[in-house]
Amino acid sequence: MSIRIGIDLMESENSPKAILKETLHFAKSLNKDVEFIFFAKNDLKDEFEKIEKEIDYPFDIVYSEHTIAMDEDPLLAIRRRKDSTIFKGLKYSKEDKIDAFISCGNTGALAAGATHLIKTFKNISRPALLALLPTKKNLLAILDVGASIAMSSDNLVQFALLGAAFQKAKGIEKPNVGLLNIGEEKQKGTFHHQKAYLELKKITNDFKFAGNIEGKEVFEGRVDVLVTDGFTGNIFLKTSEGLASFVLDKVEKNIIDKKTEILKVLKGLKKRLSYGEYPGAVLMGVKKLVIKCHGYSSIKGIISATKGAVELVENNLIASIKSYLD
Q: How many CB atoms lie within 10 A of CB 169?
A: 18
The pLDDT of residue 206 is 84
What type of residue is 221? G
The pLDDT of residue 309 is 93
DSSP state of 254: T
What type of residue is 253? K
Could you give all domains of the chain from N- to C-terminal order, each with its CATH number?
3-119+286-325 (3.40.718.10), 128-275 (3.40.718.10)
Q: Mean pLDDT: which of 24-33, 39-48, 85-94 is highest?
A: 85-94
Q: Which residues of 181-199 are buried (b: 16+ CB within 10 A; e: fewer)?
A: beeeeeeebeeebbbbbee
Lowest mean pLDDT among 84-93, 97-106, 200-209: 200-209
What pLDDT band is residue 265 in, cutting at 50, 70 and 90? Answer: low
The pLDDT of residue 285 is 96
> Mean pLDDT across the chain, nearest whole number?
88
pLDDT per position as a tens digit, 200-232: 999 988 899 999 999 999 999 999 999 999 999
Q: What sign does the CA torsion over 282, 65, 299, 92 have?
A: positive
Is residue 277 pLDDT above 50, yes or no?
A: no
Summarize the confidence of residues 267-288 as an average pLDDT. 72
Is residue 276 pLDDT above 50, yes or no?
A: no
The pLDDT of residue 156 is 97
Q: Which residues contact 124 (CB under 8 A, 6 or more apart)?
A: 158, 161, 162, 285, 325
Q: What sign does the CA torsion over 44, 47, 49, 52 have?
A: negative
**83 or 271: which carries more pLDDT confidence?**
83
The pLDDT of residue 258 is 59
pTM: 0.91
Is residue 97 pLDDT above 50, yes or no?
A: yes
The pLDDT of residue 241 is 78
